[in-house]
Amino acid sequence: MKVEILAIGGAHIDRRARIFGDTKPGASNPGAWFEEAGGGVFNAARNLSRLGRSVRLIAPRGGDAAGQMVADAAERAGLDDQPVMFLDRATPSYTAILERDGNLVIALADMALYDAFTARRLKARSLRDSLAVATHVLTDANLPADTLAALAASCHAAGKGISAIAISPAKVTKFRGALPHLSHLFMNGAEAEAIAGTRPETPEGWPALLRAVGLCGGTVTSGSGPTIAFDSEGIALIEPLPLDKIADVTGAGDAFAAGFLAARLTGASLTDALRHGTASAAITLASLHATDENLSGERLLSQLALVPAARFLS
């Protein structure tokens, strides 16, 4: 079976609580919470599948009810789910507290199981076979640094592209050993600063800083501000239009990665891929969930009509 995208990384449970009124630190705040399957790679993989891409998912998972919830979500999204099972362990989880407007107050990540996905597991026959049939690999910083470096090196040796999702400023530094072999790294400003060690005066300065530390391609988002993207051939920038309503910011960066990558894999230019990523993120920002189950190629095209043109800078 030919696999267009092999997604290796985080697939876990997201628990999110939303405060009903103004946030009062150090006090009990009225609100409500819910849980769903999530994770950087998993969110992007589901979005890619809904956009018509063939995706195989490989992710560590516990033998518990949370693991079954992830499996059910993968099936609904049409993924070829090939988990690495740890029957006696708990599936990882992410718990976030959100303000009334959807912005993050604080989060707790219980991700110990991902540390068990060591570089040695990349030598397993099933995983080597999956790498062999994949056209492109997508990963995230939930996996150990040694595993990410080995995976990126394997892709480079096989002539395969590998894209990655930064996840957080604390986790993105795991990619330092993999940077020279990454095709593209999806980041926000805080994550890019953690990799570059500094921040430019304007978004246009990100490519030079990130290239200086060995990254040949990447995207840096800044919420409602400009998004900059670069590869070996040039730099592009887009300034998204303000959104009328943001339901939840969770998963927006993963949706951007999916829209951008889906476009690039079909031959889109850097500027067109930026628009596709921006449109995909906007759809997710309007949803209360980490992915929008109604995402489709047709809906993305409709959203594109609301996305401004991107500028090729050099």
- CB–CB of 314/235 below 8 Å? yes
Beta bridge partners of residue 5, listed in sequence order: 55, 136
- CB–CB of 93/15 below 8 Å? yes
The one-letter amino acid at 173? T
Q: Answer whether residue 164 shows pLDDT above 80.
A: yes
Helix, strand, coil percentages in the chain from 3-state DSSP, rounded to 5: 40, 25, 35
Find the DSSP H helices in the chain. Answer: 40-50, 65-76, 125-133, 145-158, 169-172, 189-196, 206-212, 252-265, 270-285, 297-304
The one-letter amino acid at 199? R
So what's the pLDDT on residue 1?
A: 59
pLDDT digits (tens, 9 = 90+) for 266-296: 999 999 999 999 999 999 998 878 888 899 9
Q: How far apart are the first and last CA of the chain?
A: 39
Between helices 145-158 and 125-133, what is the axis angle to 10°?
50
The one-letter amino acid at 253? G
Strand order in the sheet with 184-188: 80-81, 55-58, 3-8, 134-140, 161-165, 184-188, 218-221, 227-230, 235-238, 311-312
- DSSP secondary structure of 141-198: TTS-HHHHHHHHHHHHHHT-EEEEE---HHHHGGGGGTGGG-SEEEEEHHHHHHHHSS
Hey, which of 93-97, 145-149, 230-234 has the most confident mean pLDDT?
A: 145-149
Beta bridge partners of residue 96, listed in sequence order: 16, 107
pLDDT digits (tens, 9 = 90+) for 255-267: 999 999 999 999 9
Comparing 51-65, 141-155, 234-248, which segment has the lowest mean pLDDT? 234-248
pLDDT digits (tens, 9 = 90+) for 14-67: 888 889 999 998 899 999 988 999 999 999 999 999 999 999 999 999 999 999
pLDDT digits (tens, 9 = 90+) for 204-215: 999 999 999 999
d(CA 207, CA 54): 31
Place of tokens 């943001």: 246
CA distances from 114 to 66, 91, 119, 228, 257 (A): 15, 9, 11, 30, 21
